Chains A and B, each alone.
Chain A
Amino acid sequence: METGEEFGPWLARQLKLTGKSQAELAEELGLTRAAVSAWITKRSIPRPTVMQEIARALGTDIGTVHSRTTDTQAGLPVTWYHRPGYPDGGRDGGNAAAFAFEPDVQVLARETCQNSLDERIRENGRPVRVRYTIHELTGEKLAAFRQAILWDELQPHYAAVSANAAHQKVGRVIDAGVRDMFENGRLVLLRVDDYNASGLTGDDYDDGRFAAVVRRQLESLKSGSSAGGSYGLGKATLWATSALGLVLINSTLSEPHEGRTERRVIGRLELPWRTVDGRTCAGPAWFGRPDPESPAAEVTRSFWANPETVASLHLTRDGDDPGTSFLIVGAQDVAGLADDDADGGKSDSEENGDDTRDIRAMHRRLVAALGRDFWAAMTGGGNREPLLETSVRTLRNDEIVLEEERVDPANEEPSRTRALRAHFEGTTVERLTESGQVAHRFVPLDLPLSGGGRGTHGRHQALVLITAAEESEEELNQVHYMRGNLMTVKKARVPNLPLGTDPFQAVLLVGRAVGDSVPFVNEAEEFLRAAEPPEHDRWGQTDELTLRWSHSAFRRINRLTTEVNSAVKDLAARPKSAGRRPGGEKLGKALVLKQSPAAGSRVRTGTGRPDLQELSAEIGPAGEWRVTAEVKLPRGVELPAMRPVAELDVRSGPRPRLAWAELEAVDGCEVEDGVLRFVPGVGRATFRGSTDVESHPVRTTLTRLVLELRAEKGD
């Protein structure tokens, strides 16, 4: 049996939860208050027989008191706490951040993985593992889940929001979500687990990860200076993805809180302002255990749940690796639905003959988004493990719909993954001599002095990696810029590439991404992080950059870009021939034979001529070529007569001409002296012919026939 926290603190919390004082407990047990106090202050522990009585007094079993891995179920039960309306009567239309997003699982994937990367436990060098589970519930399973989340308590709140749906955008979304659940009898849960991450540590109310996620609305609490995301906008996508505005959380902590680490559970609901039973509610609500220390002991806080409870909430985690599980209740993917209609999702549903189409689509879109946004973080090589591993699985009523799929970065970004892996493995080359190789080149980033000082603090060496693009790839000849967290901050096409440059893909690693062997790694990382806006989509002028460095500091980044482009050009493209061509560039360009196979053939003026459209041919019994050919006729009354010419293809030079033994009209034409005369207005004509074998210069089975129509009179 696992051993929970120490007896004293545990007992203190149970008393708080059950609203008993030390004196009251002492009285019930027939002991002095000093004895109880001694337990709580860890000066002594009760005798086993007393344990039995303590269990009875707390309304729990002896096992719970012994193991102390969970709180007693006694005291105030787990429930929903709805924040009361503001005294000033102000109303919110719902959490602005949560509803700023269109529900889109690809955005969710990006934001949640970014958070997980930020919260990765770095010390052990292992990746943070993120798993997405799409789980559709119907029937009994759905009913059981509704019971577990105390749906009956929530129902009036949803009803109140629905009643207002006409006036609020949020209301409409939620109304639709609720109706989907009832009318279709189904509910989609999307669970995001991370492992080997910090977990939601810290106090329920004070600064810390827990409060940042659960209590605050838009706040960032970053773990390190290379953090790419923040629990600000990022966490809002969780709620945005829920059609019910409801997310449940189970976290295993990397550092104990209240002496415990496992199964810290809380739920949070985001609804707009509403009135229920005459009470106004400001918006958010929390699912937890009422905090006896809060006013009227109404405010709920996280609780240490037992395994059965987390199971009923679909929040059971694998093992005791720290990290957090978010369960998005009523997950929706509006962006995906439109997408899915476009990309042939229909055939999918036809094939499977069931209505799992939208969860399958969600699955596919998650896999694609993870590969696209996190290919670098998921790439390892040499003795370096990737920063991130991700997988997606899809279930329905606990049965597998789509097996767990580990996202392979090489699927979405084959060439860049190859580039980064080669970098980790140390197999990059100075210059590319074989396709498939990866070349590297250092480019300088001069870091400015902070505080507005002129001059350079130091020179960091960023690293350009380049390799030939794979055929399947789009958006070619681009550089992905990334720093320590290996998220692509910027994608930029390399301008002014000379003609004939084969498609390539490039990556710029800067700051911690380069590795620790180059100078000014941390300074570069810090500088670029300051230059990164909250959208994480570029490096440039920001307030922070201006404040900490100077107004012109961003120019250092422009210079880096210039260096990168010239390095890429140098590696990927041969520099324009040295020395200027006589006659100048313009004349030179004007005097080039294109040599393109598509060039020429024919120019249509609209008048058109009869032309061969179909040809079937076989060798007859005497070794003659027998052909049946269809001629497409242009509109027009006067069609030129055409002579069918049979020749044999050759290696080079003139083609031997075959004589016709027979030539006859089938349809739409007449044959006269070996010439076809067409019936105007019929659109197409067919003729038949066989060659005179005596004109064949070689055995017919060894020949390739060429049939042409030639104008009888020149032009």
Chain B
Amino acid sequence: MIEKPSHIPARLGFLAGTAADPFLREELLQGIRGHQGVDLAKVVDPLPEEDPRWRVDPIRDLVDDAMHEFAGNRTQADAWLAPRLHASLRMTRREAADRRLWNHIALAVAPDYVVWRHLPNKSEPRTAPERFRGPLDRQCFSRLWWAAEIFRDGNDYSPVVTAFGNQDLVHTVLRSTWIDHRPSAQAVVRLLEAGVVSTGREINGLSVAINAAGATLLYDALAPDVPRDPEPLRQWIEDATTAPPVSRRHLPDGPDEEPVPKESVATLVGHFTDFFETAPVRGRDTEGRV
């Protein structure tokens, strides 16, 4: 394990992938030695706006608490951290799609957390570089934020916790585009909750089935969602200025968006259960990704 950088910036910034590259040293990835953060600060582009949202402290505090709380089972930190990170770092999807921001958090704010969470338990361990500087569904922090964004049901983060109850779900499903349909995401969580699927293999199988049937079925037509309303999110972001730090014990509230229509979720729960139960492949290993 490594120490946190001695120089932690006060505000978030942009760290371009190319600029970040020299700092992904082997000794960091292998969890041998971290960096001081001074040189890194020189290649960071400041965020354009003076915005209280970009203060580093709340995030640094969260990861410190997570490492303390889940020292015994670091995988479980995800379910705890994801909603709290999401509620602390109040952003639009537009803002959250910028990988430079996540690069900065991983390398300048909490490289120690990345290594703590993702260094494999094996001989000659090495953290995958994509955990620092990778696709949104792989990078240590962006995957948490985005999973929270995709699985939350309006202001309710509890489906996020359920989703992280099984690492395979987030890992497999976050990459697929069918999950972008909110009722589909809620339906899958419901199946997990109800125990229809539970093992990693089952979740993979279900995901492949939904993905394949989605080539002929339009889930959007079977299970309509409510139209998106930009106001609640804008309000929630504005409230960030005055919001207290997120509770460590209770789940925070997300933006006050309309929840997914219950009938739509129910419809898809029916369809997905049917897919799963009638899949000819049952009992065999699927072609799903590991």
Residues of chain A having any CB pair with chain B under 8 Å: 623, 648-657, 693-700, 702-704
Q: Are B279 and A698 in contact (CB under 8 A)?
A: yes
Residues of A within 8 A of B230 (CB): none
Q: Are B213 and A703 in contact (CB under 8 A)?
A: yes
Write the nearest CB–CB distance from A693 to chain B, whole angstroms.
5
Assembly CA distance A697 to B272 (angstroms): 12
Within 8 A of A (CB), among B258-290: 275, 278-281, 284, 286-289
Is residue B105 within 8 Å, beta carbon to beta carbon, of the partner chain?
A: no
Interface centre among A653, A693, A704 (most CB of B within 10 A): A653
Knowing A657-B287, A698-B208, A702-B275 touch, does A651 contact B215 (C-beta < 8 A)? Answer: yes
Q: Are A696 and B279 in contact (CB under 8 A)?
A: yes
Q: Are A698 and B287 in contact (CB under 8 A)?
A: no
Q: Are A697 and B215 in contact (CB under 8 A)?
A: no
Q: Are B212 and A702 in contact (CB under 8 A)?
A: yes
Residues of chain B having any CB pair with chain A under 8 Å: 175-178, 205, 208-217, 275, 278-281, 284, 286-289
SS class, residues of chain A in contact with chain B: loop
Interface centre among B214, B215, B278 (most CB of A within 10 A): B215
Q: Are A656 and B287 in contact (CB under 8 A)?
A: yes
23 contacts between A and B (CB under 8 A): A650-B212, A651-B176, A651-B177, A652-B177, A652-B211, A653-B175, A653-B211, A654-B289, A656-B208, A656-B212, A657-B287, A694-B280, A695-B280, A696-B281, A697-B208, A697-B209, A697-B281, A697-B287, A698-B213, A698-B278, A699-B213, A702-B216, A704-B216
Q: Which 7 A/B pairs are nearest by Cβ-Cβ distance?
A: A698-B209, A649-B215, A652-B177, A651-B214, A702-B213, A650-B211, A656-B287
Residues of B within 8 A of A693 (CB): 280
Residues of A within 8 A of B205 (CB): 697
Identify the closest chain B residue to A702 (Cβ): B213
Q: Are A650 and B280 in contact (CB under 8 A)?
A: no
Residues of B within 8 A of A702 (CB): 212-213, 216-217, 275
Residues of A within 8 A of B275 (CB): 698-699, 702
Write the nearest CB–CB distance from A660 to chain B, whole angstroms.
14
Identify the closest chain A residue to B178 (Cβ): A651
Q: Apart from A652-B178, A697-B279, A703-B213, list 6 A-B contacts with CB within 8 A.
A: A653-B176, A656-B288, A694-B280, A696-B280, A697-B205, A697-B287
Q: Are B214 and A694 in contact (CB under 8 A)?
A: no
Write the nearest CB–CB distance from B217 to chain A, whole angstroms.
6
Assembly CA distance A697 to B286 (angstroms): 7
SS class, residues of chain B in contact with chain A: loop
Assembly CA distance A633 to B250 (angstroms): 67
Residues of B within 8 A of A657 (CB): 287
Assembly CA distance A648 to B177 (angstroms): 16
Interface centre among B216, B217, B275 (most CB of A within 10 A): B216
Residues of A within 8 A of B289 (CB): 653-654
Q: Are A695 and B281 in contact (CB under 8 A)?
A: yes
Assembly CA distance A703 to B281 (angstroms): 14
Write the nearest CB–CB distance from B237 to chain A, whole angstroms.
29
Q: Are A650 and B215 in contact (CB under 8 A)?
A: yes
Residues of A within 8 A of B176 (CB): 651-653
Assembly CA distance A312 to B205 (angstroms): 91
Assembly CA distance A700 to B209 (angstroms): 10
Question: Pick the contact of A656 from B216, B217, B286 — CB < 8 Å?
Answer: B286
Write the nearest CB–CB distance from A309 to chain B, whole angstroms.
75
Q: Are B215 and A703 in contact (CB under 8 A)?
A: yes
Residues of B within 8 A of A655 (CB): 212
Assembly CA distance A122 to B187 (angstroms): 74
Identify the closest chain A residue to B209 (Cβ): A698
Write the nearest CB–CB distance from A338 to chain B, whole angstroms.
53
Q: Are A694 and B281 in contact (CB under 8 A)?
A: yes
Residues of B within 8 A of A623 (CB): 280
Q: Are A694 and B212 in contact (CB under 8 A)?
A: no
Identify the closest chain A residue to B275 (Cβ): A698
Q: Are A694 and B284 in contact (CB under 8 A)?
A: yes
Write the nearest CB–CB distance from A655 to chain B, whole angstroms.
8
Interface centre among B279, B287, B288 (most CB of A within 10 A): B287
Assembly CA distance A95 to B275 (angstroms): 87
Assembly CA distance A649 to B216 (angstroms): 9
Identify the closest chain B residue to A655 (Cβ): B212
Identify the closest chain A residue to B289 (Cβ): A654
Assembly CA distance A698 to B212 (angstroms): 7
Write the nearest CB–CB distance from B199 to chain A, whole angstroms.
15
Q: Are B284 and A648 in contact (CB under 8 A)?
A: no
Assembly CA distance A654 to B289 (angstroms): 8
Assembly CA distance A480 to B54 (angstroms): 58
Write the nearest CB–CB distance from B179 to chain A, whole angstroms.
9
Assembly CA distance A623 to B280 (angstroms): 9
Assembly CA distance A520 to B263 (angstroms): 69
Residues of B within 8 A of A695 (CB): 280-281, 284, 287
Residues of A within 8 A of B279 (CB): 696-699
Identify the closest chain A residue to B274 (Cβ): A699
Assembly CA distance A196 to B286 (angstroms): 84
Assembly CA distance A656 to B208 (angstroms): 7
Assembly CA distance A698 to B289 (angstroms): 16
Identify the closest chain A residue to B175 (Cβ): A653
Residues of B within 8 A of A652 (CB): 175-178, 211
Write the nearest CB–CB distance from A617 to chain B, whole angstroms.
14
Assembly CA distance A702 to B210 (angstroms): 10
Identify the closest chain B residue to A651 (Cβ): B214
Residues of B within 8 A of A653 (CB): 175-177, 211, 289
Residues of A within 8 A of B212 (CB): 648-650, 655-656, 697-698, 702-704
Interface centre among A648, A649, A695, A704 (most CB of B within 10 A): A648
Question: Pick the contact of A703 from B177, B216, B287, B288 — CB < 8 Å?
Answer: B216
Residues of B within 8 A of A650 (CB): 208, 211-212, 214-215
Write the nearest CB–CB distance from B280 to chain A, whole angstroms.
4
Interface centre among B176, B211, B275 (most CB of A within 10 A): B211
Write the nearest CB–CB distance from A706 to chain B, whole angstroms.
9
Question: Pick the contact of B280 from A649, A654, A700 — CB < 8 Å?
Answer: A700
Interface centre among B175, B205, B281, B288 (most CB of A within 10 A): B281
Residues of A within 8 A of B288 (CB): 656, 697
Write the nearest CB–CB distance from A125 to chain B, whole angstroms.
52
Residues of A within 8 A of B214 (CB): 650-651
Write the nearest CB–CB distance from A407 to chain B, whole angstroms.
46
Residues of A within 8 A of B208 (CB): 650, 656, 697-698
Residues of A within 8 A of B217 (CB): 702
Residues of B within 8 A of A704 (CB): 212, 215-216
Write the nearest CB–CB distance from A592 to chain B, whole angstroms.
22
Assembly CA distance A693 to B282 (angstroms): 11
